[in-house]
Chain A
Amino acid sequence: MSEFAVEVRGLRKAYGPVVAVGGIDLAVRRGEVFALIGPNGAGKTTTLEILEGHRRADAGNVRVLDEDPAQNAVSLKRRIGIVLQSTSIQPYLTVEETIEQFRGYYPAPRLLDELIDIVGLEASRKTLVRRLSGGQQRRLDVAMGLAGDPELLFLDEPTTGFDPAARRGAWEMIRNLKALGKTVLLTTHYMDEAQALADTVSIIRDGLIVAEGTPDELRAGEAETVISFRFAGALADLPPAIATAGSLENGRAVLRTTDPTTDLHELTGWAKQRGEALEGLSVTPASLEDVYLGLAGDVAE
């Protein structure tokens, strides 16, 4: 058994003249949460659908749980769970009936009560699918994907369109899946989502992987720390290091620096001398968002 739940080498897929995936490698370790992040049209869904067996690759070597998904084998379908990009559930069954229906498709399904508990739909067990909110339908979608107690779960943009509270709920759910020992391969637009959930992040753009690593590794590549504070004066009033390298943004003085210790020392010395309060002072490491925008940002969403 390979240590990887998913192994992809040189995967290519074109639709006519349009290259959706231009030759990518992926390696998803068993038990990890792996996030494939990129803008719309970057090739995320195409990649996922090839791994799920919904599409055929033009070229490349694809292994999912040591099987070739292109074979469309029942043995593989029993071991994976799929949550597609758009939620698609029969509207006239209840939550319970829908999960029961999908449990019936698998030889060793997870218990109904456990599934309802994992996705937090206890209060809506007897509700018709059509009466659920969008977020609730999405959670039911995940329960359907988990019905067969899969080793590997594909989640295509699980939280797109969620309000912030619903997203936090979904994140909690995905963390629970990891705690259950599942491998999760998800796609997302949101860097904070990848940062919050993923052990490994792969940034895809125009069908190519442009960066990959743990969230910390990716951040380390972008070594800058951002120092900022509220400031109403002119740039020239600031200490020399900030006046030359910094900028004023929305009433804040902002400095991106690779040497935060020295710059902070100079800044606080200057502030103490002048009696400046440095209101709203913040010192933050480069976020994954900055890395992401640097790599994928010039692509129009």
Chain B
Amino acid sequence: MLVFLPDSLDEAFAAFEQCPDAQLLAGGTDFMVEVNYAHRRPPAVVCLSKVEQLRGWRRDGTDVVLGAGITHSEIEAPPLCELLPGLAQAARTVGSPQIRNAGTLGGNIATASPAGDTLPVLSVLDATIVVASRHDRRSLRLDELIVDPKHTSLRPGEIIVEVRLPASFGAQEFLKVGTRNAMVIAVASTALVVDWEGRSVRCALGSVGPVVIRATEAEQFIASKINWPEGSLPDAGAISQFTRLVRAAARPIDDHRSTADYRRHAVGICAARALERVLSGEAGVKTEWAS
């Protein structure tokens, strides 16, 4: 196994040209497990940890542009947790402090796990994911990039470089169910955002299908029931129907972590609770946790 340690994206692209079968290494929290257990022995590894261009973030008008190498710890801390409360909430549920200090947003996307915690949030915020190769640069939506479990539409030599999201957009929540709070892979998760200006609700489900699922029928139904000028839900019974539609949208499986039945049950509860929290103004990362 060869190891490349590029200082810049250009050097990373050059390493790819030298070794087209090289594996990209971001935080290592998934890849190194496979190496340690001898499940993977790629001919070469291109480490992205020293590529400064991937590390930071910036404001661009009403957007936040995150470098793909930003860590979950950086997302869950101020000021990003204030600009991106739903993503911060998802980042906070990843692994442990050790994992969040190492794992990156770009790595979470590229790994393309059905249980990737940040992915439902990227879906509801209509994230634009920018990927670059030596000679090209293109922008993709999450559902264009992640096509199947563990499979992306990244072309040979392409690297995820940044993720563009709207700052302080609407009201956001992310909720996740697992067997404990720390070090847990989601059994079911939900990201929900209410766009007060556009009068729409977006709800994405994680860990209950091969890729993130948008519960579009549930979104449209509940948007039609919200009293938008007041920001209230006069018909309390609408939440039950919303929950049913969310459950109908899920396509879960039985596996070693849970059953399809439980996942369907849990994702409905997550979505209903996220909706209630968002409408009551209680959603998002609490500041005492964010420090």
Is A bound to B? no
A residues apposed to B, CB below 8 Å:
none
Q: Hey, which bits of chain B sit against chain A, CB under 8 A?
A: none
